[in-house]
């Protein structure tokens, strides 16, 4: 989607891996220990995308989950503040600038504030959304996370963001 591409490209750096919880065995080549996979457990993800929730893809900053519901998936992208090349103390200003860029690319009302998630959170809430695709961009501390989903709706996407923010 046009509005997530700019954010993802602008924030395309990562943090080191730690540990994760997955409901099923990931396919070969997938590393369930990347930090993005720690932000929402497999059991928690199943509430949103259906059981079994399986980690389908990982990279240094990405954990992609596939669920038991038809066409349901969720991606968690974690970006550590210090790994973005932003001077220490400027991470929030950088995030706010990225959100303003997203708002400029979107139609009025498509980027909406999400209350009570992290220090700042904004959601992509498209009016014409045949694919049921949503995103939430959140900032907490000096790090940020982008949650993207398909097939589960906006409210579920916000629910995933709340869980992820609670672990930042």
Question: Residue 7 pLDDT more than 90?
Answer: no
- Count how many Cα atoms sit within 13 Å of the Cα of residue 94 in the half-sphere of its side chain: 22
**Bridge partners of residue 134, in order along the sequence:** 149
pLDDT of residue 129: 85
109, with CB counted inside 10 A (0-12, 13-18, 19+), is: exposed
pLDDT band at 15 (very low <50, low <70, confident <90, very high): very low
Question: Residue 14 pLDDT more than 60?
Answer: no
Are residues 75 and 64 in contact, defined by beta-carbon separation less than 8 angstroms?
A: yes
Say which CATH number the domain at 60 has: 3.40.1000
Rounded Cα gap, residues 15 and 163, in angstroms: 19
Percent of the chain with pLDDT over 70: 83
The tens digit of pLDDT for each residue in 79-133 reads 988 777 788 888 999 999 999 999 999 999 999 999 999 999 999 998 888 889 9
The residues, any chain, with a CB within 8 Å of residue 126's CB and separated by 6 or more, are 110, 133, 134
Q: For the chain, how many structural domains are there in total?
A: 1
Give SS3 for 128. Answer: coil
Q: Which domain holds residue 139?
A: 2-166
The tens digit of pLDDT for each residue in 30-45 reads 899 999 999 999 999 9
């Amino acid at each position: 989607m046009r509005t997530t591409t700019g954010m993802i490209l602008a924030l395309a750096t990562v943090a080191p891996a730690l540990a994760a919880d997955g409901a099923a065995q990931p396919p070969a080549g997938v590393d369930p220990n990347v930090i993005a996979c720690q932000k929402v457990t497999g059991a928690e993800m199943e509430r949103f995308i259906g059981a079994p929730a399986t980690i389908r893809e990982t990279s240094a900053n990405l954990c992609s989950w596939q669920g038991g519901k038809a066409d349901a998936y969720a991606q968690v992208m974690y970006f550590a503040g210090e790994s973005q090349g932003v001077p220490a103390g400027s991470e929030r200003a950088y995030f706010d600038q990225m959100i303003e860029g997203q708002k400029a690319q979107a139609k009025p009302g498509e980027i909406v504030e999400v209350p009570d998630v992290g220090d700042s959170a904004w959601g992509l809430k498209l009016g014409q959304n045949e694919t049921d695709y949503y995103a939430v961009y959140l900032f907490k501390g000096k790090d940020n996370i982008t949650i993207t989903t398909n097939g589960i709706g906006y409210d579920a996407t916000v629910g995933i963001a709340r869980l992820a923010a609670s672990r930042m």
